[in-house]
Chains A and B, each alone.
Chain A
Amino acid sequence: MSAARTVRPRGQRPRGQRSRGQRSRTASAALHTALVAASAVSVFPVLFIVYVSLRGRDGWQEPTRWTGLDVSNYTHILGETKFLTWFGNSVIVALGATVLGVLIAATAGYAVSRMRFPGHRPLMWTFLVVQMFPMAVLIVPLYNILGELELLDSYAGLIVTYCSVSVPFCAWMLKGYFDTIPAEIDEAGRVDGLSPFGTFWRLVVPLARPGLAVTGFYSFITAWGEVAFASQFMSSEEHYTLAVGLQTFVGQQKAEWGLMTAAAVLITVPAAAVFFLAQRHLVAGLTAGGTKG
């Protein structure tokens, strides 16, 4: 880009005729200014929380004065609160929901992508419609049902609940992903004598590994950050997930913002790591599923 600019001086092209990828110095400066400003807005809250978390228990009260850094917030939440228990609970629930959700979403997505069967269109519609369900309409009946099954305040109850949230979206996305795998591969498998399930399991699943990984990440992050169900279903402190536990730091009476920020950083790190591994594929899968629906 810059090489091209030096070879052909600016003044020779009439305005508006400059081919894309080449721009004047002013335009370039404006572009970078805009992007730097936008990046600052998007990064500032995150950096600020990291900064506050490193300032000790009461450091948050004077955000603009420099007082040096210490890690007492981290040692406190790791040593003297139930943070690690909650962390473990969140991991169990999120992983459980991910594995279960991706498994059943994959088979359904494959069937919808490859086979034209009665019930095909209604099912695609269901996947879309279920995403519209406000948790408000489901939460009370689910609460009662889980209560009757004695699954309240248990991992299994929450895992199954999260599956119902993530499965429709995952199936939709996976359908889009399977659509991009050529059907000739299936046909070759069938010709060689594989059953429909064999084709799916031995040929398509290995090829769809990136897509499966992305839906897995999506389920994981959804479960990791869910608040409403977890707040009501997990009633004993031993079973809190992070989203519930974090609320106890900043309750109605006390406000331990120092601890809260340290916990926030520790919660964000795994989620962000998982996210950045997946994000490039996430949108491709999403829009593929959406436009071809």
Chain B
Amino acid sequence: MATVVTTVRRSFSTHWYAWAMVLPVVIVLAVLVGYPLGKGIYLSFTDANEANVARTIGVNHIEATYKSVGLDNYWKVLSGQEGHFYSRLGWTVVWTASCVFLHYTIGLGLALLLNRPMRFRALYRVLLILPWAVPAFVATFSWRLMFNEKYGVLNALLTKLGVGSVDWLGDATLQKVSAVAVNVWLGVPFMMVAILGGLQSIPRELHEAAEMDGATPWQRFVHVTLPGLRSVSGTVILLGVIWTFNMFQVIYLLIGQGAGSESEILVTYAYRLAFQGIRDYAGSATYGILILSLLLVFAVFYRRMLSRQEAVR
């Protein structure tokens, strides 16, 4: 017992300033993330909605009357009773995969093009980064205007070409294509710049050595460039998946708040549950926890996969 006390005391005296420095962050995260998370988990086990949570109307304070329902919410969602979980999950996965795939491949392509001495390089770089500089909600509204069925510029151009106008945001499939297009437009610059940074950190000597050994450009790309990019790619793809999976603004503002939209991803659906119609706080919390669990599982597997690849090399 005494040794434990001494260990703790010694540990405190050596580490107190480190702890003091992280304390503000820990407090902020505990109060604003930890506590809400705990409360969210708690709500997901209840039947809380707008009608039975504690609230104050004028001077009257009404106590909360919601009660615990155990795992009912999760059962309803996961067994498919609640209706749309699996179809939305499917679309969310397709959305994330296609967006991140396009982000990465286009970003990689542009980075490879830019990573060489040429005229106007700085100008291209600035122009290609531009979408990143536009706030996402502004860009989304702009695209909504361009996609407008009657007055949008895309349809005007198509009509001039004799194709006829297309209902970009009304049709269920095109809606999804449009959303992916907007998100790809928004997300490519980040990938491009990150990969460009990675490319520049690959030592020139490696390329030169490969060239001396007679490697073709393709062989150099596969055996020098791609392995050199591995750590950057690992990070940006993980971040990209997380951000895209939770991408709220594009879907919410582009497709609008129309009820029962097929093109909603899990996050926007959870948001709608919480703030439209009869506010279903418990259902929304359940969805939130499920989204978080999915992402956590993905992140753990992904990092494990990366480190295994690293070990194999």
Q: Which residues of A contact B (CB under 8 A)?
A: 1, 16-17, 19-21, 28, 31-32, 34-35, 38-39, 41-43, 45-46, 48-49, 52, 60-64, 103-105, 107-108, 110-112, 115, 117-119, 123, 126, 128-145, 147, 160-161, 163-164, 167-168, 171, 195-197, 200, 221, 224-225, 227-228, 232, 243, 246-247, 250, 252, 257, 260-261, 264, 267-268, 271-272, 275-276, 279, 282-284, 286-287, 290-291
The 8 closest A-B pairs by CB, nearest first: A137-B288, A290-B235, A225-B135, A164-B32, A136-B270, A141-B36, A108-B25, A141-B39
B85 within 8 A of A: no
Number of chain B residues whose Cβ lies closer than 8 Å to a Cβ of chain A = 102
B144 within 8 A of A: yes
Q: Which residues of B contact A (CB under 8 A)?
A: 11, 14-15, 17-19, 21-22, 24-26, 28-29, 32-33, 35-37, 39-40, 43, 53, 55, 110, 113-114, 116-118, 120, 124, 126-139, 141-146, 148, 150-153, 156-157, 160, 185, 188-190, 193-194, 197-198, 207, 211, 216-217, 231-232, 234-236, 239, 242, 245-246, 248-249, 252-253, 257, 266-267, 270-271, 274-275, 281, 284-285, 287-289, 291-292, 295-296, 299
Quick one: which of A43, A160, A290 contacts B130, CB cutoff 8 A?
A43
By a CB distance below 8 angstroms, the chain A residues around B36 are 137-138, 141-142, 145
B73 to chain A, nearest CB (A): 13
Docked Cα-Cα span, A118 to B138, in Å, equals 44
Docked Cα-Cα span, A31 to B113, in Å, equals 7
Among A28, A141, A291, the one with the most B-chain Cβ atoms within 10 Å of its Cβ is A141
Whether A104 pairs with B28 at a CB distance below 8 angstroms is yes
By a CB distance below 8 angstroms, the chain A residues around B271 are 135-136, 139, 228
Quick one: which of A35, A133, A290 contacts B114, CB cutoff 8 A?
A35
Quick one: which of B19, B124, B270 contacts A117, CB cutoff 8 A?
B19
Whether B289 pairs with A164 at a CB distance below 8 angstroms is no
Whether A63 pairs with B28 at a CB distance below 8 angstroms is no
Given contacts A227-B252, A227-B253, contact A132 B21 (CB under 8 A): no
Given contacts A1-B118, A38-B110, contact A227 B249 (CB under 8 A): yes
